[in-house]
Amino acid sequence: MRFDIVTLFPDMFGAVCDHGVTARAYKQQLWSLGLWNPRDFTQDVHRTVDDRPYGGGPGMVMLVDPLEKAVAAAKAQRGTAADAPVILMSPTGRRFNQALAEELVAGEGAILICGRYEGVDQRFIDRCVTDEISMGDFVLSGGEIPALAIIDSVVRLLPGVLNDADSAKQDSFNVTLTGLLDSPHYTRPEVYEGQSVPAELLSGHHANIAVWRRQQSLMLTLKRRPDLIESARQQGLLSKSDERFLKQLRDEGLTAR
């Protein structure tokens, strides 16, 4: 798996090369990174990468030419995998999700374009970009943090990246598999400042623990993400006893935070 990043701030990508499970996978050469700074593909003494918007308005717009040359350099180095998706990180893109991460991990990687300023010249998008992705409805200063999020979410899906200690199996047991939010976690001490770990988790009774966790998941999901309850139902992921518990919750009124 290879990611090529077009960015004015290449140092930000140390976040995934130098830390945590993505760094371990990087050192094992399970994935590689190319960094392409549009400033290195300028021709003028000032190394200009942006200009004022036609039609007026606030902010600056990224120039087509340095972006296009950076993408061409990335494609040249990728060689045969030159048909990898070219994904623009954009607040007007389609929302990123786990299904997209799974699509990307099945491919050879991607060229990720990180915008700064007000945006990039539309002609660059028309000429080079195959997909536009957003992280959600909040305003960031550029595409670097979204690109880092995509790399992190995709790399951890690569075979051999997660070990049991990283909870890979637990992970796939939750939202993606169950369609529900995860249940709460506890570790030592058994009592902290008078607050005890729920008795069910201390019982050692594995069937009861499973029921407790399932009910906690249902309760939390109904309270915070009712949309996920409906899609889990549509996917056939809710049992008769789940439905009975949900009805009971609705009758009682919710108790979860």
What are the residues binding ligand 9D3 (CB under 6 A)?
89-91, 115, 118-119, 134-136, 138-143, 146
Q: How far is the CB of 120 from ligand 9D3 (least distance, A)?
A: 9
In angstroms, give the least distance from the CB of 58 to ligand 9D3. 8
118 catalytic residue (yes or no): yes
**Nearer CB in complex with ligand 9D3: 91/198:** 91
Q: Of these residues, 171, 184, 198, 214, which one is catalytic?
A: 171
Q: Could you give the 3-state DSSP secondary structure of residue 62? A: strand
DSSP for 127-195 reads HH-SEEEE--SS--SSSHHHHHHHHHHHHTTSTTT--GGGTHHHHHHSHHHHSSPPPP---S-SEETTE
Compare residues 147 and 229 and give the one whose CB is closer to ligand 9D3. 147
**Choosing from 4, 156, 213, 242, which is the catalytic residue?**
156
Give min distance, CB of 95 to ligand 9D3, in A: 9
Our CB check for ligand 9D3 shows the closer of 141 and 239 to be: 141
Task: Give whichever of 141 and 241 is closer to ligand 9D3, judged by the CB atom.
Answer: 141
Buried b (16+ CB within 10 A) or exposed e, 141-178: ebbbebbbbbbbbbbbbeeebbeeeeeeeebeeebeeb
Q: How far is the CB of 7 from ligand 9D3 (least distance, A)?
A: 11
**Least distance (Å) between residue 5 CB and ligand 9D3:** 13
Residue type, 241: S
The answer to whether residue 91 is catalytic is yes
Q: Which residues contact 60 (CB under 8 A, 6 or more apart)?
A: 50, 51, 52, 53, 117, 118
Specify whether the backbone of 19 is left (phi greater than 0), alpha (psi in -120 to 50) or beta.
Answer: beta
CB nearer to ligand 9D3: give 22 or 134. Answer: 134
Q: Which of 40, 118, 132, 200 is catalytic?
A: 118
Distance CA 21, CA 167 (A): 12
Active-site choice (24, 39, 78, 91): 91
Distance CA 160, CA 21 (A): 11
Residues forming the active site: 91, 118, 156, 171
